[in-house]
Amino acid sequence: MPDVLVYALHNDGAINKNSLGAVSEAARVAGELGGEAHAVLVGGDDLTDDLLASLGSYGATKVWRVSAPEGLAQPVVDAMGRLMEDPGYDYAVFGGGLLGFEIGAGLAARVGAGVTMEVTSIAVEDGKLVAERPILGDSSISVSRYKGKGIVIGRLNAFEAREGAGSGPAAVEDANVELSDFSTRARMVTRGEQRGADVNIEDADALVAGGRGLGNADGFQALEELAGVLGGAVAATRAVVDAGWYPYAAQIGQTGKTVAPKLYLAAGISGAIQHKVGMQSSENIVAINKDSNAPIFEFSDLGIVGDLNKIVPKLTAAIRARKGS
Ligand SMILES: Cc1cc2nc3c(=O)[nH]c(=O)nc-3n(C[C@H](O)[C@H](O)[C@H](O)COP(=O)(O)OP(=O)(O)OC[C@H]3O[C@@H](n4cnc5c(N)ncnc54)[C@H](O)[C@@H]3O)c2cc1C
């Protein structure tokens, strides 16, 4: 069957941006395969018809509602495993993130499918799905083809959420799934928040990122103020999280998070390749660096050569004045 199943995650009554991107991408390739994209949402009473149907505007034609504990991988593996057998899907797509990786890997084992992780691009060749993933520090691309069923796990935020990709509300259908004994043994005890994560950096439209050029941990205060007036969040390089200046949750790059905000403002960041791979898909990159030869200027849309300690407060004041607050 040419239809594609796609997992969508919701938080606080909204479907996250990463999942919306996965739905849009699944819909695009399903169309090329001559089929449709059907989404799966797992949760409790908060899974309203309106929330599920809203995925129609991102390209899903049907959304399966599965009543099961949220935030755990195994109940979703049970649900998607069942759906991949009946009604039957050849491919499943995930947006990425820790839960996506865990569910996707479990699902691949459950249904005997091939799995490709950190995928940045999907295409259709000879009527079959083909997944591309960057390897070797993003210097090369590895191409995966599937013999049978295939699971694609995207790199976080690699797929663009396209509102208007679908023509109207999706049909909502309840899937009655029997959970395995072992799937119900784990339970979510609590969800924690970390400093610097009040706005989820993967979902923020504006990120203000700091590097070693800040000089010390206190330097982040000015970035938090700037992020505040922009309605965004603060991110960091590995050099500064390793130094204990900011939480690991905010690290962007090869061993951190991958982001693609509308604005990525890099202050005191040199632009090492390991940092670049985590933020290069940002729509607009603005860099502030006192060294005009810093590599970050090679991939910035706007470069400001100067001392961040003078520029950042002025920028914050100017934006605040413009917003009249
Ligand atoms: C296997 C591996 C994985 C890695 N993974 C990651 C990763 O995921 N993410 C990551 O970020 N790094 C990663 N790194 C580290 C990476 O190679 C760089 O060391 C790191 O990104 C550098 O961080 P930085 O830009 O904050 O510091 P630096 O490279 O030291 O740059 C500081 C910059 O600040 C500028 N500056 C100094 N003072 C001022 C001032 N007053 N005003 C304006 N500019 C100023 C300097 O000119 C300089 O360009 C990894 C490395 C390895 C080997």
Taking the centre of ligand 1 as the mean of its atom positions, its distance from the CA of residue 275, in whole angstroms, is 7
Which CA distances in Å does 87 have to 80, 82, 151, 166? 11, 8, 17, 22
pLDDT at residue 184 tops 90: no
pTM above 0.75, yes or no: no
Taking the centre of ligand 1 as the mean of its atom positions, its distance from the CA of residue 224, in whole angstroms, is 19
Q: Which of 74, 321, 29, 54 is nearest to 172 (CA)?
A: 54
**What is the model's pLDDT at position 71?**
83
Q: Strand 128-135 vs strand 10-11: parallel, antiparallel, or unpaired?
A: unpaired
**What is the model's pLDDT at position 93?**
97
Pocket of ligand 1 (CB under 6 A): 211-213, 237-240, 251-256, 268-270, 272, 274-275, 278, 288-291, 294, 307-309
Phi, psi of 231 (to 5 degrees): 70, 30
Instruction: Please spell the DSSP secondary structure of 168-213, one letter per residue.
Output: SPPEEEE---PPPGGGGT---------TT-SS-TTT-SEEEEE-GG
Taking the centre of ligand 1 as the mean of its atom positions, its distance from the CA of residue 211, in whole angstroms, is 6
Residue of the CA atom closest to atom 29 of ligand 1: 270
What's the mean per-residue pLDDT of the chain?
92
Residue among 156, 246, 255 whose CB has most ligand 1 atoms within 8 A, to mutate: 255
* 271-315 pLDDT per residue, tens: 999 999 999 999 999 999 999 999 999 999 999 999 999 999 999
Single-letter amino acid code for the residue at 210: G
Q: Which ligand 1 atom minimizes the distance to the CA of 308?
A: 42
